[in-house]
């Protein structure tokens, strides 16, 4: 055996350095010496921290970020950012809120100062709030046109019914119409605490300088609930196997998302579950190819023309996850399509081949490594991993974790999380021929004679 404890490996990427400030803010960066950079705040806050009453606040707040601060009007901010050739962006998910800037590396101090200003000193003016209500309501209409988004919202609302993970990110329109300045201020006080934030950066970023900037612009921020140093307790969100159908016979296709409860970010089983995902794969009719693919489900769907597209997914949260598949088909084929998908799930529990597993490991590694190109994807990876794992996993370790999975690990997680479990199923469109829940549930195991 090799002396693994002493072995070292050369990596052709710079190190990710991490520093924690006295107030709990974590600063993490990778310096590649480029003339441009991405820097941003990753905040452990999102719709999961909301209730039925204030659902939509996190997202509303994100919308207000570029609408002016105590130091800059909206126009000042826009002119300043445009004149320095920078970009500002923000997004909200169920568990994370992100604000980031792309700029020349030499402008890093200005970029950090702007981020600090929009997070800490946002005006939240009444007039702007009113205007933004309209914008968000329109955004909502746009999302409602996107059946994939709708079906994933349905999936969350049924799988996590009665819990905050079942809420949507935008919130219901009643809430969007009534959220006021005080709601936003309260939300910031509750959740935008330095101990729940990561200042991440990638590109031409000197870590020590970044730490100094963080101290200068974020160092004085203290948790508003600093009397209570205990970290915020995340309420568990229970998964419920269940079914939600929105029948609409005017739509040409039926969209289905079907998932079982997987595991959270940190759980070691997430790696074999991701490999299982990769084996099931992704396919789209417009890719024309497929009839000869090594992947059995793709081959079958392509040859028999059972669906328009399918995509396996593994959506992760802190302490739970949705492992499943999204597929689009029509009324004539949806029945067979669902059965084929479930057959494939069952096959993975019992008849997996070495070839499939090693192929999936390879593709997974490739896809992950290929994504880390450019300062923004690298910065996103740093920010997300810092929030999810409390560290950035070194690439050789990640590669090792993936390549060490073997066929029995994949079978084991399939048996544990998929076999004979109650899935959550959400659908929209002409759903008449979709097998009913008892049938779907009965296909989650096989009887061998």
Partner 1 sequence: MTTPLSVPLRDSPKPIYAESASETFQTMTSKLNNGLTVTSQPKFGTFCTVGILIDAGSRHEVAYPSGMSHYLERCAFAGSSIYKDRDAVMLAVEKLGGICDCQSSRDTTIYAASVDRDKLEPLMELLADSVYQPTLDDNIIEQARESINYELDELDKKPDPEPMMTELIHEAGFRGNTVGLPKYPQAETLHQINRASLQKFLRSYYLPERMVVAGVGVDHDELVTLSEKYVSAKSPSWSLDGARESDASVAQYTGGDVKVQKHFDLSMSVVPMPELAHVSIGMESVKFTDTNFVPFAVLNMLMGGGGSFSAGGPGKGMFSRLYLNVLNRHHWMYAATAYHHSYDDGGLFCIQGSAHPSQLRECVHVITQEFAKLTNGIDKVELNRAKKQLQSMLMMNLEARPVIFEDVGRQILATGERKSPKQLCEMIDNVSNDDIVRVARHMLSSRPAVAALGDVKQLPDYEDIENALTRPDGKLPKKFRLFGR
CA–CA distance, 285 with 151 (Å, rounded to integer):
20
CA–CA distance, 218 with 299 (Å, rounded to integer):
54
- Residue 243 pairs in a beta bridge with 425
State which of residues 20, 32, 93, 110 lies at the interface with partner 1 (CB under 8 A): 32
Binding positions for partner 1, 249-268, rule CB under 8 A = 265-268
For residues 184, 190, 191 and 197, what is the CA-based torsion angle, rounded to 10 degrees? 120
Q: Is 234 helix (H, G, I), strand (E, B) or coil?
A: coil
Assess contact for 84 and 104: CB atoms under 8 A.
yes
Side by side, the strands of the sheet bearing 26-31 are: 16-20, 26-31, 197-203, 36-43, 97-104, 87-92
User: Minimum distance from CB of 249 to partner 1 (Å)?
Assistant: 16
User: Minimum distance from CB of 316 to partner 1 (Å)?
Assistant: 10
User: Minimum distance from CB of 138 to partner 1 (Å)?
Assistant: 9
State which of residues 359, 412, 415, 446 lies at the interface with partner 1 (CB under 8 A): 359
Assess contact for 271 and 405: CB atoms under 8 A.
yes
Tally the residues of the chain. 449
State which of residues 22, 142, 438, 448 lies at the interface with partner 1 (CB under 8 A): 142
Catalytic residue among 62, 128, 344, 356: 62
Element (H, E) at 109: helix 108-120
CA–CA distance, 66 with 69 (Å, rounded to integer):
8
Q: Indicate whether 15 belongs to the interface with partner 1 (CB under 8 A).
A: yes
Binding positions for partner 1, 193-232, rule CB under 8 A = 203-204
State which of residues 23, 27, 28, 36 lies at the interface with partner 1 (CB under 8 A): 36
Q: Indicate whether 88 belongs to the interface with partner 1 (CB under 8 A).
A: yes
State which of residues 232, 339, 365, 407 lies at the interface with partner 1 (CB under 8 A): 365
Binding positions for partner 1, 368-427, rule CB under 8 A = 369-370, 372-376, 388-391, 393-397, 400-401, 404-405, 409
State which of residues 27, 28, 39, 81 lies at the interface with partner 1 (CB under 8 A): 81
State which of residues 21, 34, 422, 433 lies at the interface with partner 1 (CB under 8 A): 34
User: Minimum distance from CB of 131 to partner 1 (Å)?
Assistant: 15
Assess contact for 240 and 161: CB atoms under 8 A.
yes
State which of residues 19, 78, 212, 339 lies at the interface with partner 1 (CB under 8 A): 78
**Interface mask toward partner 1 for 274-293; x: CB under 8 A:** ------------x-xx--xx
Whose tokens are 């990638």? That residue is 202
Q: Indicate whether 86 belongs to the interface with partner 1 (CB under 8 A).
A: yes
Q: Is 27 helix (H, G, I), strand (E, B) or coil?
A: strand
Decide whether 147 or 157 has the Cβ nearer to partner 1: 147
State which of residues 42, 66, 152, 192 lies at the interface with partner 1 (CB under 8 A): 66
State which of residues 14, 24, 109, 125 lies at the interface with partner 1 (CB under 8 A): 14
Q: Indicate whether 131 belongs to the interface with partner 1 (CB under 8 A).
A: no
- Residue 381 pairs in a beta bridge with none
Residues touching partner 1, count (CB under 8 A): 79
* Sign of the alpha-carbon torsion through 196, 50, 172, 144: positive
Q: Indicate whether 4 belongs to the interface with partner 1 (CB under 8 A).
A: yes
62: annotated active-site residue: yes
Binding positions for partner 1, 292-321, rule CB under 8 A = 292-294
Cα Dmax for the chain: 74
User: Minimum distance from CB of 14 to partner 1 (Å)?
Assistant: 5
Number of Cα atoms under 13 Å in the Cβ half of residue 365: 17
Decide whether 144 or 225 has the Cβ nearer to partner 1: 144
Q: Indicate whether 354 belongs to the interface with partner 1 (CB under 8 A).
A: no
- Residue 328 pairs in a beta bridge with 255, 309
Burial of 125 per CB tally in 10 Å (0-12, 13-18, 19+): middle
Q: Indicate whether 135 belongs to the interface with partner 1 (CB under 8 A).
A: no
CA 204 to chain centre: 26
Q: How far apart are the first and last CA of the chain?
A: 44
Which residues are tagged catalytic? 62
């Amino acid at each position: 055996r090799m002396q693994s404890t002493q072995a070292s490996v050369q990596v052709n990427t710079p190190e990710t350095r991490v520093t924690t400030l006295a107030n709990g803010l974590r600063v993490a960066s990778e310096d590649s010496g480029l003339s441009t950079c991405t820097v941003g705040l990753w905040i452990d806050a999102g719709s999961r921290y909301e209730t039925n009453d204030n659902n939509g606040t996190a997202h509303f707040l994100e919308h207000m970020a570029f609408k002016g601060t105590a130091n800059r009007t909206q126009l000042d901010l826009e002119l300043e950012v445009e004149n320095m050739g920078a970009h500002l962006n923000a997004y909200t998910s169920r568990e994370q809120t992100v604000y980031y800037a792309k700029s020349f590396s030499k402008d890093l101090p200005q970029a950090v100062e702007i981020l600090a200003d929009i997070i800490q000193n946002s005006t939240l003016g009444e007039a702007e709030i009113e205007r933004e209500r309209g914008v968000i309501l329109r955004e909502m209409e746009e999302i409602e046109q996107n059946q994939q988004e709708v079906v994933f919202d349905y999936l969350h609302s049924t799988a996590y019914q009665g819990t905050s993970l079942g809420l949507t990110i935008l919130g219901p329109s009643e809430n969007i119409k009534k959220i006021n300045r005080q709601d936003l201020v309260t939300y910031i006080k509750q959740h935008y605490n330095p101990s729940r934030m990561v200042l991440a950066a990638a590109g031409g970023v000197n870590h020590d300088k970044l730490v100094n900037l963080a101290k200068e612009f974020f160092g004085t921020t203290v948790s508003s609930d600093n009397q209570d140093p205990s970290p915020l307790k995340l309420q568990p969100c229970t998964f419920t196997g269940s079914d939600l159908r929105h029948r609409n016979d005017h739509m040409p296709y039926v969209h289905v998302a079907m998932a079982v409860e997987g595991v959270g970010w940190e759980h070691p089983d997430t790696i074999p579950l991701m490999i299982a995902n990769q084996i099931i794969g992704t396919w789209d009719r417009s890719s024309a190819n497929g009839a000869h693919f090594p992947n059995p489900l793709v081959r079958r769907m392509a040859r028999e023309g059972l669906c328009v597209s399918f995509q396996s997914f593994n959506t992760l949260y802190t302490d739970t996850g949705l492992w499943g598949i999204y597929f689009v088909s029509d009324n004539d084929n949806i029945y067979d399509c669902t059965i084929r998908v479930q057959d494939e799930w069952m096959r993975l529990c019992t008849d997996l081949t070495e070839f499939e597993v090693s192929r999936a490991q390879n593709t997974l590694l490739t896809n992950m490594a290929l994504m880390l190109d450019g300062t923004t994807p690298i910065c996103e990876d740093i920010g997300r991993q810092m929030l999810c794992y409390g560290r950035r996993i070194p690439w050789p370790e990640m590669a090792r974790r993936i390549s060490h999975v073997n066929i029995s690990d994949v079978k084991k997680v399939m048996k544990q999380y998929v076999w004979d479990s109650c899935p959550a199923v959400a659908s929209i469109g002409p759903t008449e021929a979709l097998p009913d829940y008892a049938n779907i549930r009965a296909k989650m195991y096989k009887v061998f004679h």
